[in-house]
Structure 1
Amino acid sequence: MSNISRAITLYQPRQVEVGIGAIQRLNDWARNHKRILVIATTHTKGFVERLKLSGDIRVFADIPPEPDTSALNAALAQARAIKPDLVIGLGGGSVMDVAKLVAALWDGDHTLDDVVGPNRVNGRKSALAQVATTSGTGSEAGTRALITDRETHAKKAVESPFLLADIAILDPELTVSVPPAVTAATGIDAMAHCVEAFTNIRAHDLIDSYARMGMTLVGKYLVRAVQDGTDLEARTGMMLASYYGGICLGPVNTAAGHALAYPLGTQLNLPHGLANAIIFPHVLAYNLPVCREKTAEIQTALGLSPAADEDELRKSAYQFCQDLGVEMRLSAHGANKDDLPAWASEAHAIRRLMDNNPREMSEEDVLNIYLNAF
């Protein structure tokens, strides 16, 4: 049944710069900002000079692949010391999520727990620019930030229009150094965002349009981007796919796929894109009985042969991911089979995502998926 009449709200950055050389436009946009804090990683801090910024520039580059409360608090401490009028996220989703929260929280005494959930951030003093250096999370497009609680290992989600970027930069030249395996995993993550929103019980015709564009771009360009990282057309296509996936997350969000991926990130320390890539074929196949028409569109986008049943679809989607160079076995990433039941319980309890899934999934179903992925 169509949800076209359901009221939704769609947020996007005020300004989006896309294409080769787009990074050069940030300096003009930022010229009136004098105190600038760049949030980065040890790798992406190497791109700071290419921003060609003027003013007092400080860089915080201690963001891990899965940002936790310790990293956020350290970044907030630096921001409070320099009082930035512009915060720039320079990196992938982890960096951009931290940048959102730093821009919104440094000028106050709110902690992460004070703002977890929807619409609990009440303002933002700093401007916010997001410069993507990967093509996966689409965080530059969205209003959510995810941080792992260092003590409980649970992911905490903050959602607010005050986390939205004033400007987003999508320059494919910043992604050419991303290794093939990471390109593959993050690309599948972008696909998962589109697919999970597309098949979601909260799916909406407007968001379906973005999801279709994203899925089509992944099918057209991901293999090329993995095979030749200098293929700027393919890199641009994947940045757009990631951006469209980020748009899908706002009004609709993800579902069981991401719920099952989260324990892999928090318990195994797997990068977010890799965790989602491992889970993707299994949840796609699980949802087939209740999403046959939309699943057929997904298969067409990825160039997969029509599947008669769940097992056939799982095998073909698994092969698609494996052929891209993704190591799809949990056992190869240090997982212990004895831990899977606890992870299944943890994933099943993430109701904000599990309740979006088009097919009800029990804790036993979750465990079976983990066992199949093992």
Structure 2
Amino acid sequence: MTAYALPLRLYQPRRFDYGSGSAAQVGDWARAQGFTHILVLTQKVMLPLLDRLALPGQITVFDGVAPEPDTINLDLALTAAQAAQPDLVIGFGGGSVMDVAKLVTVLRGHQTLPQIIGPNKVTHRQNALALVPTTAGTGSEAGIRALVTDAATLNKMAVETPHMIADMVALDPDLTLTVPPAVTAATGIDAMAHCVEAFTNRRAHPLIDNYARIGFNLVARYLPRAVADGADAEARAALLLAAYYGGICLGPVNTAAGHALAYPLGTRLKLPHGLANAVIFPHVLAFNQSVAGEKTAEIAHALGLQGDLLQAASQWCADLGVEMRLSKLGAKDSDLQAWAQEAHAIRRLMDNNPRDMTLAEVEQIYRAAF
């Protein structure tokens, strides 16, 4: 079977609005659909921008979504949903906010979180779902997965179901103009990592490769501009689109070792997801070079990398202001072995990697990043 004949199933949001001011389309759409009870899940920092959605009807706001939400935080959001009884849930924020919004829509019925962990275990959802990203990173608005941390074990748990695809998505670059440079850099590298890991994946598909190419080329061209000038409207718009393309890549292909190694840095070290991926990205890119040479060369060309790939990719990230040393981000040498064991056990991602990675090699990458 040729690559072009490989089976593929792709889900995308039912409505997609893009461009400056498009956040207001959420309110227009909600009004036209007749929604009267709306729950907005967000964070306190986003409250000043909430009126951009121009929402109708009775609005309840839960602004307590944590940056790396765990099951306790999810329960608080579910309690708010139980009280509000919404016919529309809106995730207004970054990837954590959107993931919680997705999970709330499918956990208001008869199923519990343990019953739906994994792929295709959700039977239905209770309400409509709209997603409005305010950072250009996770691409969660495009996909059918949501992640939450188990508060007891600190392991990331993934739910995958087409029931979590959004009814409406609005990509409004105006909402991202005030994102700080450090967050812009880390989330942008996360978006690129989604594209790169799908592009070099064992499950790579020609159709998804095209989305991935567009995505990492947009990040390569526009992320340095957005970091240098947050008011660069063209760069902000381009990065939102890149993140969306990365989200499309996640659905049928998903990420690989890079994200597996990043997860313990988020749950154990409490690094923001984008920063964790940024620190790991150059190491896994270089590790996979020997088995994905042609595609890696294409990525390196897009980023303008020359010479030693690990050094050049690390410098590209550092030039954006990202601290690339785990030792400077709070990690201890004694942490690394346990993190390596945890990352190596995330087989749903590690098995996608184009090159097999032993436990010793995972620890070696952590030590190189230390």
Secondary structure (helix, strand or coil) at the match of 1:287 reads: helix
Secondary structure (helix, strand or coil) at the match of 1:151 reads: coil
For residue 42 of structure 1, report the CA deviation from its aligned partner.
1.3
Give the length in aligned residue pairs: 368
For residue 184 of structure 1, report the CA deviation from its aligned partner.
0.3
For residue 81 of structure 1, report the CA deviation from its aligned partner.
1.4
Aligned to 1:349: 345
Aligned to 1:164: 165
Matches of residues 1-374 of structure 1 in structure 2 within 5 Å? 3-31=3-31, 32-106=34-108, 108-305=109-306, 307=307, 312-374=308-370
RMSD across aligned positions (CA)? 0.9
For residue 125 of structure 1, report the CA deviation from its aligned partner.
2.0
Secondary structure (helix, strand or coil) at the match of 2:189 reads: helix
- Aligned partners of 1:45 and 1:90 also within 8 Å: no
Amino acid corresponding to residue 332 of structure 1 in structure 2: K
Amino acid corresponding to residue 342 of structure 1 in structure 2: A
Counterpart-to-counterpart distance in 1, 2:14 and 2:111? 26
Secondary structure (helix, strand or coil) at the match of 1:146 reads: strand
TM-score, reference length from structure 2: 0.98
For residue 54 of structure 1, report the CA deviation from its aligned partner.
1.4
Gaps of 5+ in 2: none
Amino acid corresponding to residue 264 of structure 2 in structure 1: P
- Aligned partners of 2:131 and 2:168 also within 8 Å: yes
Secondary structure (helix, strand or coil) at the match of 1:135 reads: coil
- Aligned partners of 2:99 and 2:140 also within 8 Å: yes
User: Percent identity of the aligned residues?
Assistant: 62
**More displaced stretch, 82-91 vs 44-53:** 44-53
Amino acid corresponding to residue 22 of structure 1 in structure 2: S
Gaps of 5+ in 1: none
- Aligned partners of 1:2 and 1:204 also within 8 Å: no
- Aligned partners of 1:2 and 1:205 also within 8 Å: no
**More displaced stretch, 50-59 vs 344-353:** 50-59
Counterpart-to-counterpart distance in 1, 2:49 and 2:106? 24
TM-score, reference length from structure 1: 0.97
For residue 2 of structure 1, report the CA deviation from its aligned partner.
5.5
- Aligned partners of 2:28 and 2:54 also within 8 Å: no
Counterpart-to-counterpart distance in 2, 1:320 and 1:2? 36
